[in-house]
Amino acid sequence: MSRPAIEVRNVSKVYQLGTIGATSLKEELGRFWDRARGRAQAVKTGEFVALRDVSFDVQPGQVIGIIGRNGAGKSTLLKILSRITQQTRGEITIRGRVGSLLEVGTGFHPDLTGRENVFLNGAILGMSKAEIRAKFDEIVAFAEIEKFIDTPVKRYSSGMYVRLAFAVAAHLEPEILILDEVLAVGDQQFQRKCLGKMQEISTGDGRTILFVSHSMAAIRRLCQKCVVLRNGEATGPLDIEPAIELYTENLTESVYDLDVSQSKRSWGAEARVCRMTRLRVVSSNFLAFGKPFEIEVHLECYRPITKGLLGMAFNTVEGTRILTLDSDVNDRTFDLQPGKYVLRARMENMPLHPGFYNFCISVGGGGHFFDMLDAALWEVKTSDEDRWSDRGAGGCRIEPELCITPESGTAPAVYDSRSA
């Protein structure tokens, strides 16, 4: 057994609350003055433990996913591993050159041309000029910006910018690669290309990769094992499915049945008209691609609502609205009297591509009664029948009714129309 590429031993990171954010000299002098006059008491500041005794090993050539909710400590762990900051306690041994990619386009200078930025960015990521020169054509071709390589990057579209940035990073060749959410760049087509490239990197030459992502599809596709972080504590490396289960279990612990009566996320011009008390998925205890689903909303009305409508929407984690379900698309509205109601909205077919979505909900009509953005973070899972969800299709995926007519002289097509 070869020695691990990365050994993490009892690593903790403690942030001093109160010193987060720079202090000003004035405050410090004021504190000093108070102390000097014996008036004060060191202000007891709190601590925030971002990582607590984290230990795990990564074997050479392994592709390890790191998953956890926002604030679970993923970024902190990556920052420590990539030497951007230092742990408070514990020890890490790394065997191999590390390249880390916590953001694409780090250090790009807007006034410099694409060509110049490739060299600058490459050097910032740790490549030598000779290495960059050797890969230059490959990088430019991958980014698909041959024509604009001598244009200052400030004139690039944001798509071109991230493509170039990812291309540089993808051609980095350290033994250990640390990646954070870089898949969230570019359009769908380019994301697929990125994913393909990363798969190539990870399977190609036995490189060790640590990969942080919120996309379970990407994790399933790329990683062999997963470390799950929860409130600064790490479990793993586990196999992918148990890891994702652990993550979603603790992510969705009653997430599909929420008591939202106290939620602070709701707002509305006339908030006193009604409020939502409970929000749940009733069809099953999760959402799955291509499957029917039903969302249940418990509403408490204080005043009559006339010409009301229920609006629901799914946003991507990046904030793009991707699916809207409005009850009044065909001008059908409802009138409600003061009291309690249960509204159930049903769809026969969940068209959303598997992934995580923020669910937003509102009740409107004669006014804006109630609006709750990001009411829940829900995962749309892959269904068993769906073998193609890692095709990289974006947004919604709906099966059209296909009609194939043979032209003269051609045999009729065989089409499995399940309508029968």
Site of interaction with other proteins (CB under 8 A): 2-3, 5, 15, 19-26, 28, 60, 79-80, 82-98, 100, 102-103, 106-107, 109, 111-112, 116, 119-120, 123-129, 152, 175, 206
Q: Alpha-carbon distance 105 to 310, whole Å?
A: 42
Q: Which is nearer to other proteins, 76 or 358 (CB)?
A: 76
Smallest gap from Cβ 366 to other proteins, in A, equals 47
- Return the number of the residue (83 or 321) whose C-beta is nearest other proteins: 83
Q: Which two tokens stand for residue 185?
A: 């760049």
For residues 260 and 297, the answer to whether their CB atoms sit within 8 Å is no
125: helix, strand or coil: coil
- For other proteins, the closer of residues 232 and 354 by Cβ is 232
Cβ proximity to other proteins: between 153 and 312 the closer is: 153
Shortest Å distance, C-beta 81 to other proteins:
8
Are 210 and 234 in contact, with CB atoms under 8 Å apart?
Answer: no
Distance CA 36, CA 149 (A): 61
In angstroms, how far is the first alpha carbon of the chain from the final one? 57
Question: Which residue's CB is nearer to other proteins, number 7 or number 328?
Answer: 7
Nearer to other proteins, 206 or 338 (CB): 206
What is the DSSP code string of 156-197?
S-HHHHHHHHHHHHHT---SEEEEESTTS-S-HHHHHHHHHH
Please identify which residue in the block is written with the tokens 């269904």: 383
Min dist. Cβ of residue 214 to other proteins (A): 19
Q: How far is the CB of 89 from other proteins (least distance, A)?
A: 6
Backbone angles phi, psi at 109, to 5 degrees: -110, 120
- Closest separation in Å from C-beta 231 to other proteins: 19
Cα gap 234→54, rounded to integer Å:
6
| Contact by Cβ (8 Å): 336, 370 | no
Nearest approach in angstroms of CB 68 to other proteins is: 19
Alpha helix ranges (H) inside 235-286: 240-252
Shortest reach from residue 131's CB to other proteins, in Å: 9
Is the Cβ–Cβ distance between 67 and 242 less than 8 Å? no
Report the alpha-carbon distance of residue 170 to residue 168 in Å, rounded.
6
Which amino acid type is present at position 126? G
For other proteins, the closer of residues 3 and 391 by Cβ is 3
